[in-house]
Amino acid sequence: MERQGDEQVCPACRTTRLSRYNPNPLCGVCLANVRDGAGIVPVWLWDSGPLRQALARADMAAVLAILRAAAGMSQLEFGQLLGWSQSVVTKIERRKRDTFHDVREILRVADLLEVPRQALLPLILGRPDIELESDEDAASWGDAVQPGRELDRRQFAVMASGLALGAVLPAPKRVDRGHVRYLRACLEQLQDQDRIIGGASLRAQALRLFGRARAMLDESDYTEQVGRELLVVTADLGVVAAWLAYDSGDQATARALYGEAELMAGSAADNELLVHVYANMAQQATHLARITERRGRAREALRFADRAADAARHLPSPALHALIALRQAGAHAQLGDAVAFRASIGQARREIDRGQHETDQNWTGFVTHSEITAYEAMGAFQLGRPDTAAGLYQMVLEDCRRSPRDQVYFRARPAATLCAAGDRQGAVTEGLAVVGDLGSKLTSVRVLNELRPVRQAAGASAEEFCERFDAAVRILAPPSTGRAGHVPVGGSVT
- pLDDT single digits (tens) 346-365: 999 999 999 999 999 999 99
The C-alpha atoms of residue 328 and residue 286 are separated, in whole angstroms, by 9
Given a contact cutoff of 8 angstroms between Cβ atoms, the answer to whether 301 and 272 are in contact is no
User: Is 76 exposed, middle or buried, given 0-12, 13-18 or 19+ CB atoms closer than 10 A?
Assistant: middle
Residue 399 confidence (pLDDT): 93
Beta bridge partners of 18: 8
Question: Considering the chain, what percentage of its residues have pLDDT values greater than 90?
Answer: 75
What average pLDDT score do residues 420-428 get? 90
Lowest mean pLDDT among 168-177, 178-187, 223-232, 336-345: 168-177
DSSP tag of 480: G
Decide: helix, strand or coil at residue 82: helix
Neighbours of 56 (CB within 10 A): 18
Residue 163 confidence (pLDDT): 38
Length of the chain equals: 494
What average pLDDT score do residues 44-57 get? 93
Neighbours of 342 (CB within 10 A): 16
For residue 93, CA distances in Å to 10, 24, 49, 265 come to: 11, 12, 19, 38
The C-alpha atoms of residue 134 and residue 293 are separated, in whole angstroms, by 34
Lowest mean pLDDT among 129-143, 411-425, 467-481: 129-143
Residue 139 has pLDDT above 60, yes or no: no
Beta bridge partners of 4: 7
User: Is 219 exposed, middle or buried, given 0-12, 13-18 or 19+ CB atoms closer than 10 A?
Assistant: middle
Domain boundaries along the sequence of the chain: 2-120, 147-268
* pLDDT tens readout for residues 159-214: 444 434 334 578 999 999 999 999 999 999 999 999 999 999 899 999 999 999 99
Residue 37 has pLDDT above 80, yes or no: no
Beta bridge partners of 221: 174
Residue 391 is inside which H or E element, if any?
A: helix 386-397
CATH class entry, domain 2-120? mainly alpha
